[in-house]
Amino acid sequence: MMRPTPPDVLPLRHLLTTDGLSRPQILSILDLAESFLPVGARAVKKVPLLRGKTVVNLFFEPSTRTRMTFELAAKRLSADVLNLDVAHSSTRKGETLLDTLRNLEAMQMDMLVVRHAESGAADFFARHAAPHVSVLNAGDGRHAHPTQALLDMFTIRRHKADFTALTVVIVGDVAHSRVARSQIHALRILGVPDIRVVAPRTLLPVDIETLGVRVVPHLETALRDCDVVITLRLQRERMQGTFLPSEGEYFRHYGLDAARLALARPDALVMHPGPINRNVEIASAVADGPQSVILEQVTNGIAVRMAVMAQVLGRAPGQESAA
């Protein structure tokens, strides 16, 4: 007799956040991504898994990496991909999100990949989507960016086998970063014991310590003996009012330069979700240096997004986790 699959390893219908995922769920996505990674190195970069499925990219905010790699991931899985050009779409004529959803459903789409400036936008689409439609969150406000966090976990795992022995530093504009939030949840779920967060007070969320991280006031102290440094962009588009004295002063206190990086372990990884602002949060020499895996993160993002899409659309009807 077949044993029922425990709920913590059931495939997801949607991916909206890393908060509340189980360790087996994350690991199964990372393992599947590992199997997709070689596809990108083949002469024919395609597998037929999602042939006949329709994926819609709906990006209300600017994006280079996330949008392109979601599109590439869907195409490498042989899905049909539509990209709604929001700036020239009927949302500019006042069409609501719900009406946009209903119309895309009328075009028989199977999956919606959504980025929006409002926290909760992806959840809204997921709540209202027809039962066969899956929603992937490609970043909502300051809330979550789950595929970014998963591709970061994937990148870390490829270099550092054991999450439970790691020290990870996250430095920069944590307050406005959906990436940092999703990373912190994922790192905690995977058992990372020491997550150090460094930022000017004005760029730290008030609830940060409840997420299970340690706030360290000085970057130099935080970097000592760490295994991974994640740098974040100053997300000015989400700042209202003045949060910072000047970019020069920010770099003097919080910029990752070669002298500071030397305080970390010699094999420490340097990461950044992109887009980078050179010599604002990270020195050019460090971004392009031997410890940087910033472009590897981009390549890995394709395999991880393929894995998420394959899991979500490949699940058996009714065999899914509530998340």
Q: What is the binding site for ligand NCD (CB under 6 A)?
A: 65-66, 139, 145, 148, 178-179, 233, 235, 273-274
Q: How far is the CB of 174 from ligand NCD (least distance, A)?
A: 11
Q: How far is the CB of 148 from ligand NCD (least distance, A)?
A: 5
Q: How far is the CB of 109 from ligand NCD (least distance, A)?
A: 22
- Report the C-alpha gap between 32 and 308 in whole angstroms: 8
CB closer to ligand NCD, 76 vs 233: 233
Q: How far is the CB of 200 from ligand NCD (least distance, A)?
A: 16
CB closer to ligand NCD, 110 vs 152: 152
- 10 Å CB burial of residue 69 (0-12, 13-18, 19+) is buried
CA atoms within 13 A on the CB side of 72: 19
CB closer to ligand NCD, 196 vs 272: 272
CB closer to ligand NCD, 11 vs 146: 146
- The residue behind tokens 């997004």 is 305
Q: How far is the CB of 2 from ligand NCD (least distance, A)?
A: 40
- Per-residue DSSP letters for 192-227? -SEEEEE--GGGS-TTGGGGT-EE-S-HHHHHTT-S
CB closer to ligand NCD, 22 vs 83: 83
CA atoms within 13 A on the CB side of 46: 8
Q: How far is the CB of 273 from ligand NCD (least distance, A)?
A: 4
- Report the C-alpha gap between 154 and 152 in whole angstroms: 5
**Contact in structure between 291 and 133 (CB atoms under 8 Å):** no
- Report the C-alpha gap between 165 and 179 in whole angstroms: 22
Q: Which among 114, 142, 154 is positioned nearest to 26, based on CA atoms?
A: 154
Helices (H), the chain: 23-36, 65-76, 97-106, 121-128, 146-159, 178-189, 219-223, 247-254, 258-261, 284-287, 294-314
Which residues are within 8 A (CB) of 172 and not within 5 positions of it... i.e. 6 or more apart?
A: 180, 198, 199, 203, 231, 232, 233, 234, 254, 281
CB closer to ligand NCD, 193 vs 275: 275
CB closer to ligand NCD, 100 vs 148: 148
CB closer to ligand NCD, 11 vs 141: 141
Q: How far is the CB of 274 from ligand NCD (least distance, A)?
A: 5
- Report the C-alpha gap between 240 and 163 in whole angstroms: 36
CB closer to ligand NCD, 10 vs 171: 171
Q: How far is the CB of 266 from ligand NCD (least distance, A)?
A: 27
Chain position whose Cβ is nearest to ligand NCD:
233
Amino acid present at 217: P
Q: How far is the CB of 65 from ligand NCD (least distance, A)?
A: 5
